[in-house]
Amino acid sequence: MTQIARPQPLGAFPLPAGLLLVVGEGTDAVRESLVSGRLPAAWPDVLEGIRLAYEGRVEDAAVVFAASDRPVDRYNLFVVDPDSVTRAEVTAALGEQWRPLVDHVAFTLGHTSIPPEVGSATGEVAALVLTSQAAHALADGDEDEAVECLRAAAQQARGIASAFAGVILSELAGRAHDLADADEAVALLKGTDLRSAYAEALYHRAGLIHGLAIEGRRSVAEAIQGYTDALRLLDESDNRPLFARLHLNLGTAYLAAPVMSDADMLRVGIAIQSLRTAARLLDEKDDAEEWASARLNLANALVYAPSARQRDNLMEAVDLYEVVLRTRSPKKDALGRARVLSNQGNALAHLGLLEDARGRFDEAEFLFASKGDENSAAIVRDLRDQLVAAGSSA
């Protein structure tokens, strides 16, 4: 039976490093540092393979682990080069009590579609296994089960593996929309070397505050500060999807902030820059809804932004609305399509393209009325009638 000190730094750092076991004489300080989410100032020679993996030199780490006769390095080799050692060999090397961890690695690396069982596992190992079960539930479309697994995982990690608990709670906050989880995640990850994970926790927290601000229960400025703090931790190459979403939400939040003075109009310019960044980085296929949202919000901002290039802004907005309309089917999203058509009609009217604007307003009115939204239909009808009157007097 292999003696392995606990807790182990599992789950917090990115793969594959975040699945490696830290064992050896004089390694307790390193292990404890990693568990808290902090990289050590120095690595003992016995952890050369671990150091290489944490530096991203995975192939070099595999060479070190393959040359080792320590049972724990059979497991570590399995993590970084799973085709070079069998699952059965690894379980035999570590002992049966570590089977849940080995099974988790096999599931995570795609060697099996069967999620691991918690069995007798406790603490950070049980938490890790429960995250696998959450992933499996999500793949099956069972969001509720995934949330329950994540909540159980967080409970297992709390007080034992602080950084891992923070990572789990951040994911939980994003799925269960619980501000208390987000607050705890931010507190646990603050001051760690897990910059991307901390940024994601700030993102989830700011998003929840943003939602409360829309309801008038928190300040939108607090959400803006959260998004800004998260962006300071990242650049585009660190975590492209998160970087894009932060800019999308930041731009949207700036547009929602009340305009109290001429100086506040500067925020519109900042919002436009953030929304341009989001629109550039988001993928039409993988991030379809956010991809469309970035373009829609950017178009809305361009229509109302004070600028010496107002006509150019309006023409760009019209084109952006046209792109968004491709994602708003009259059958599947009639009201969404109607709102985009109304905005596009307004932009066309500002450009003096009255007939084109009228056509957009006609379709929007029809779609609103067909879905029983008479108030919106009446607003669009009034706008169209104003165009008719303007055209008649021209």
Residue 390 lies in a domain: yes
Please report how the helices 240-256 and 195-214 are oriented relative to each other, as an axis angle in degrees rounded to 10. 30
Residue 25 lies in a domain: yes
State the burial class of residue 135 (Cβ atoms within 10 Å of its Cβ: 0-12, 13-18, 19+).
middle
Q: What span, in angstroms and rounded, lies between the C-alpha atoms of 280 and 288?
A: 13
Chain centre to alpha carbon of residue 179? 16
CATH number, position 358: 1.20.58
Contact 293, 248 (CB under 8 A): yes
Looking at residue 263, its pLDDT comes to 66
Q: DSSP class of residue 353?
A: -
Q: Please identify, among 114, 137, 169, the residue that sits at the C-terminal boundary of a domain.
A: 114
Buried b (16+ CB within 10 A) or exposed e, 95-113: eebbbbbbbbbbbbeeeee
Percentage of the residues of the chain whose pLDDT score is greater than 70: 97
Q: What span, in angstroms and rounded, lies between the C-alpha atoms of 168 and 110?
A: 21
Looking at residue 392, its pLDDT comes to 53
Residue 255 lies in a domain: no
Buried b (16+ CB within 10 A) or exposed e, 282-312: beeeebeebbbbbbbbbbbbbbbbeeeeeee
**Structural domain range at position 380:** 328-394
Residue 56 lies in a domain: yes
Q: Quick check: helix, strand or coil at residue 123? A: helix
Q: Please identify, among 77, 93, 114, the residue that sits at the C-terminal boundary of a domain.
A: 114
> Where are the strands (E) in 8-82, listed by range?
none
Looking at residue 393, its pLDDT comes to 57
The total of structural domains in the chain comes to 2
Please report how the helices 354-370 and 374-393 are oriented relative to each other, as an axis angle in degrees rounded to 10. 160
- The segments of the chain whose pLDDT lies below 70 read 1-2, 259-264, 388, 391-394
Looking at residue 269, its pLDDT comes to 87
CA dist 104 → 1, 50, 136, 215 (Å): 20, 19, 11, 41
Q: Alpha-carbon torsion 196, 184, 205, 231, what sign?
A: negative
Residue 266 lies in a domain: no
Pick from 93, 9, 2, 103: which is nearest to 51 by CA?
A: 9
Q: What's the predicted TM-score (pTM) here?
A: 0.92
Residue 101 lies in a domain: yes
Q: Please identify, among 53, 82, 114, the residue that sits at the C-terminal boundary of a domain.
A: 114
Looking at residue 388, its pLDDT comes to 67
- Please report where in the chains the tokens 């009639």 appear, as a residue: 334
